[in-house]
Structure 1
Amino acid sequence: MYQLISKTLLNCYNEELTYTKFALDESNLDLKITLRELADLQKALNEATIFSITDRDDRISYVNEKFCDLYKYTREELIGKKLKQVFINLIKSSIEAMPTGGNIKHNGNGLGLMVSYKIIQNHKGTINVKSKLNQGTSCIITFNKKTKREAFNL
């Protein structure tokens, strides 16, 4: 009698293990499909968009290839940069627009200024651009001075 009960319990246990293994195999397959779909989505985004990702400290933590191609920098030159990128963008645009230093880009897309604006905004600053035809353009960047309390709380 004990042998019959043991055998029945063992069969139930084995059936449960078989079912669990089958369910795990299905879950693993679903996860593989989801991971493949995510990888395909990431690839499509990288090919179709120009973007960078910043961390909480506003340091660039990721740039896609199109971003690097547009700005003519390598990932290594951009990763970890903060406000330096703002000034690089503004100075580069200024040099390109100077009569002796470059050409005005009539087909520019303005992404450099947009990236600069976002970085400055993340630092709770402002950027004002004033431009007069045949006279030039001024970019005024303003940051709020921190109080002693704010500085010590960092």
Structure 2
Amino acid sequence: MTGVLSALVVMAAVVVLAHIVRVDFDTMKVRNRAVLVLLALYGLWTALNGFQSLATDIGAGVLLFMIALVMWLVGAMGAGDVKLYAVLGMFIGFAHLGLYVILLVIVSVVFVVFLRISARMQGSGQIVSRMRDFNSSGKAPYAVPMGLAAIPAIVVRAFT
């Protein structure tokens, strides 16, 4: 029964993370409430798994938080992204940070390529139009690649 509940919590976390990605894409904001829901889901998930990796999960969260905090201090990242990174680090865990980094590089490259291509695309689809907005403003929604890379890393961790 604990395994089923654990799987349901992970699926809920994936849904919340997908919501965070969508909202960040649309508004360039990561809402505190969504990050707190994700943190609560992590707490429930780790409790269901007997707090086995809590210390290393917190370590991964602190590591990603510190990296993001430096980026925030130099004005390269928003505060919501910094808070999200801490929770993502906890959900991903130290053992899966390597997978996350590889996925983050791949997703980021694809995002940047699409950003460049969208500037030259004809048409006015919602996604293309939004990508043009990012291009013209010089700002990007960091939670989009962070979340898209984190989802498979979290799923791999939870189900292997």
| Same fold, TM-score > 0.5, yes or no | no
The structure, 1 or 2, with the larger RCO (C-alpha pairs under 8 Å, 6+ apart) is: 2
Largest Rg, 1 or 2: 1
Q: Name the TM-score, length of structure 2 as normaliser.
A: 0.30
Q: Which has the higher helix share?
A: 2
Q: Name the TM-score, length of structure 1 as normaliser.
A: 0.31
